[in-house]
Every structure is written in C-alpha cells, then in structure tokens.
Amino acid sequence: MRSVIDILDLSVDEIGELIAVANDIIANPAAYSEKCRGKKLATLFFEPSTRTRLSFEAAMYELGGNVLGFSEAQSSSAAKGESVADTAKTVSCYADIIAMRHPKEGAPLVAARNATVPVINAGDGGHFHPTQTLADLLTIQREKHSFENLTVGFCGDLKFGRTVHSLINALSRYPGLKVVLISPEELKLPSYVKSEILKPAGIEYIQTTSLEEVIADLDILYMTRVQRERFFNEEDYLRLKDSYILTPDKLKTAKSDLSIMHPLPRVNEISVEIDKDPRACYFKQVLNGKYIRMALILKLLKEAGTIE
C-alpha cells in the first residue's frame, strides 16, 4: 500500500504530476467535485492543527468525499494506552485513506506499516511534514515557475521546524539550489539534514545568525516560528522566541521579486504590515495546501484501486 511519510517517497516526476493536477483543479474545480463520492478520509490528529487538518478535510469535501476523525489525542483511545499500530488497523476498517499528525517522530510510519489503506504523514514531531512541502512547492512553482537556480533562505527554528527539513529535502533534488540557513546557534539545522541531504547532493549552503546580512541575496525567504512545544524549558523558549522579526524596514535591501513564505502559524516572526506587500506568499500557501492535498488524495486512492 502506497503511503507518503517523507517527501522523498514521491519522485521528482510524481511531484511534477501532483503540481499539474493541482493547477488543473484550480482552473477547473467542478471537474473534480465527484471524484471521491462515497469515499472517506480519516484525520487522526494527536497534536494541534488548524491549516493541515482543515485543508485535508476541505480537500476531501471538495472531491465529493466524507471525513471522520479526531483532533486531539485525549479524545481517542490513545488516552487509554492504545498503540498507533492498533489505531491504524482499526481506522483502516472505517476509512479509505488516513492523514495522521503525531508528536512522536516515526509514528505515521508505524501507522503506514499496520494500516491496510494509504497513510499520509501530516507532521511527525520535529521530523517531517511532506504535505506542507507540497503546498510550498506548488506556491514556489506558481510564483517562480521553476525550482532551478533558487537561493532559498530558511530563517528561525531550523532545529525543530519539520517543514524546513522536508522542504530542504524536496528542493535538494533540483539543480542550482543555494541554501542560506539563518538561526540562533541553539536552533541550527540538525547535522543529519546537512550530512544526509545537503552534503551528498553537493548543495552550497551557508549558516549565519544575521538575516540582515543575507536578505539581499534571497529569491525565497522561508520564515518559521520557534517551536515552543518541542522545548525542554520555557526559559529557553522565551529567550529565543523573538530572535527574528521581519519588518518592512528589513526588506529594504531585498529583491523586488522575493517570495516571503511561512508555513504558519505565525506568532511574531512577520509583522502584519508585511501582509499587504505583494511579496508575501504565506496566505497563498494556505490555499495551495488545499489543492495539492486534493491532488495527493486522488493519486493515492487511484493507486490503491479505491477510485478510478
């Protein structure tokens, strides 16, 4: 059974196809409104979410399907001690496809190994978040029309930010990528991402603590929030949370066609004044997330033989 746990579970060609389908859905939504009639998506969310869960649900409704699930661990049998494997086996009896978010790295993989329907990782701890990456890639494609020769700055919590890890993974497969890593010392990109992804792919990268020093070089600036829920103590969070705040002033030297991205939720990292700047793409990412999830649900249900 085909599941998507890591963005690398999808080939470059498959990502190109998903983007093409998403663009077709955007152009012609009515053609897709019955594709999943009678089918069910289960959203199993053991961690908070607004966009990811609701966009999965909206995606399934817009395909004519139905949705069931839970939005907190406490309201599921996990609170009684049920394993992820047993939950996955159980939900496979009710739903045709599962989207799962879990605080433990690897939990959606365990679910995929035990489910009899496709499982989509909707975020596992500080590890990966492949469908946010698909939303990011659709946004980059629509803004930049290519994934080649981009200089991409990642700013904020690069240690715990799973959206950063997945997007670096995805972009590493396109030629000419340059990566600029902007974070406090304590929140640097994990060394496994450098040694397993950036170095083997021969990708040029620099690490800095200063956004001002590098902003003029960037085609894309990917801002992230400091991931409070993954800190061991509140003091460190409070010290680091406002490390980077993007204000109109800081954009003075930026390119006129910079794309400012953020997976959201934003806490304080981007001043609301920037929302009206034409370079702000974060609410486009939200909308694109729904369309690309529609494309992914269609692909996985087709491959499973659940729909035509």
Give the residues lining the site for ligand NCD (CB under 6 A).
51-52, 123, 129, 132, 162-163, 224-225, 263-265
211-214 long-range contacts, Cβ below 8 Å, gap at least 24?
211/153, 211/155, 211/182, 211/244, 211/246, 211/250, 212/250, 212/253, 214/153, 214/180, 214/182
Q: Which residue is nearest to ligand NCD (CB)?
A: 263
Smallest distance, ligand NCD to C-beta of residue 226, A:
9
Catalytic residue among 35, 39, 40, 101: 101
Rounded to 5°, angle at Cα 110 from 107 and 111: 90
Toward ligand NCD, which CB reaches closer, 114 or 163?
A: 163
Residue 228 DSSP class: G
Do residues 46 and 73 make contact, with C-beta atoms less than 8 angstroms apart?
yes
Toward ligand NCD, which CB reaches closer, 4 or 307?
A: 4
List of residues 6+ apart from 150 with CB closer than 8 A: 140, 144, 171, 174, 176, 177, 178, 219, 220
Toward ligand NCD, which CB reaches closer, 52 or 139?
A: 52
Residue with tokens 């978040």: 129
Could you confirm whether 102 is annotated as catalytic?
A: no
Toward ligand NCD, which CB reaches closer, 3 or 163?
A: 163
Smallest distance, ligand NCD to C-beta of residue 66, A:
23
Could you confirm whether 101 is annotated as catalytic?
A: yes
The Cα–Cα gap between 283 and 161 comes to 19
Q: Which amino acid is at 203?
A: I
Smallest distance, ligand NCD to C-beta of residue 33, A:
25
Toward ligand NCD, which CB reaches closer, 158 or 301?
A: 158
Smallest distance, ligand NCD to C-beta of residue 163, A:
5
**β-bridge partners, 67:** 41
Do residues 122 and 53 make contact, with C-beta atoms less than 8 angstroms apart?
yes
Toward ligand NCD, which CB reaches closer, 43 or 224?
A: 224
Smallest distance, ligand NCD to C-beta of residue 167, A:
11
Q: Which phi and psi (to 5°) does residue 139 adopt?
A: -65, -45
Smallest distance, ligand NCD to C-beta of residue 99, A:
11
Could you confirm whether 129 is annotated as catalytic?
A: yes
**β-bridge partners, 14:** none
Could you confirm whether 80 is annotated as catalytic?
A: yes
Residue 178 DSSP class: E
Distance of CA 166 to the CA centre of its chain: 7
| Enzyme catalytic residues | 51-52, 80, 101, 129
